[in-house]
Every structure is written in C-alpha cells, then in structure tokens.
C-alpha cells in the first residue's frame, strides 16, 4: 500500500507539510518562525508541523500567531504537534494536552502520541 493522505469524511490532510523544526530562537532571531509560517501560509501550505521542543515552545507560539494573523479558518488548516516527553506517562497525558490547549489556543493532531502502558526500563549491558 502506498502512503496517502489521512482522510476524514469532509477533509484531507495535505501530504506536504511545512516543518518548523530548526526555526528556534537559539539558531535564529525571535520572530523567524512566525515570518516563515506567514510565508508558508501565503503560498498555500495548510499542514504545519511544530512541537514544544522546538525553542521551548516559542516556535509553537509563533506558528499560532501567524495563523491568527493570516486569519486562516480552523477547518482549513492542520497544525500537527507532539506531546512533550514530560507528559508521556499515561497519568500525565491529560495534563499535557490541557497545557497545550491553554498555551496554544488551537487543538492539534499529535504525530508523537503518548505511550499506551508503562514498560520497565531495561539495560542491555
């Protein structure tokens, strides 16, 4: 089976997405992620990939600012993020998702979902 877009009854996630992995403020001046995302939205990107780990949340904030500034309707865009490792314990997932929704003001699909169950750490040595 060849890879294809993830489909919902009325929406299709674009196969090509705009990644923001290296747009953090450690490597670039503040505002770089926002400017790049604004340009991506201008040329038609509607699938944006980001994560809290990119610049300690700054990139996610700038992506959100760009989307709000361009006034892209929520049903026309897919912002994909990751649940930070801090929240991968099943007991912490709800807290992590609540944190993301409060600080980012949009709901995101996750492409790094939490673990399903605890597994013991094993040392192969």
Q: Confidence band (pLDDT; 50, 70, 90) for 104?
A: low
Question: For residues 117 and 42, which has the higher predicted lDDT (pLDDT)?
Answer: 42
Give the whole-angstrom CA distance, residue 1 versus residue 13.
18
> From its phi and psi, is residue 112 left (phi > 0), alpha (psi between -120 and 50) or beta?
beta
Higher pLDDT, 84 or 40: 40
Asked if 54 is an active-site residue, the reply is: yes
- Among residues 28, 45, 52, 54, the one annotated as catalytic is 54
Q: Is 18 left (phi over 0), alpha (psi -120 to 50) or beta?
A: beta
Work out the mean pLDDT of the chain and round it to a whole number: 77
What confidence tens digit (pLDDT) does each residue in 9-43 have? 677 888 899 999 887 777 788 899 999 999 999 99
- 73, 101 in Cβ contact below 8 A? no
């Amino acid at each position: 089976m060849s890879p294809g877009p993830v489909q919902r009854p009325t929406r299709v996630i674009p196969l090509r997405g705009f990644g923001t992995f290296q747009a953090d403020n450690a490597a670039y001046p503040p505002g770089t992620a926002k400017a790049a995302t604004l340009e991506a939205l201008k040329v038609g990107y509607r699938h944006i990939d980001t994560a809290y780990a990119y610049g300690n949340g700054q990139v996610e904030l700038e992506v959100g600012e760009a989307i709000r500034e361009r006034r892209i309707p929520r049903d026309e865009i897919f912002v994909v993020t990751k649940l930070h490792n801090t929240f991968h314990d099943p007991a912490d997932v709800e807290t992590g998702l609540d944190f993301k929704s409060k600080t980012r003001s949009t709901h995101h699909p996750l492409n790094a979902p939490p673990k399903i169950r605890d597994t013991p750490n094993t040392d192969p040595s």
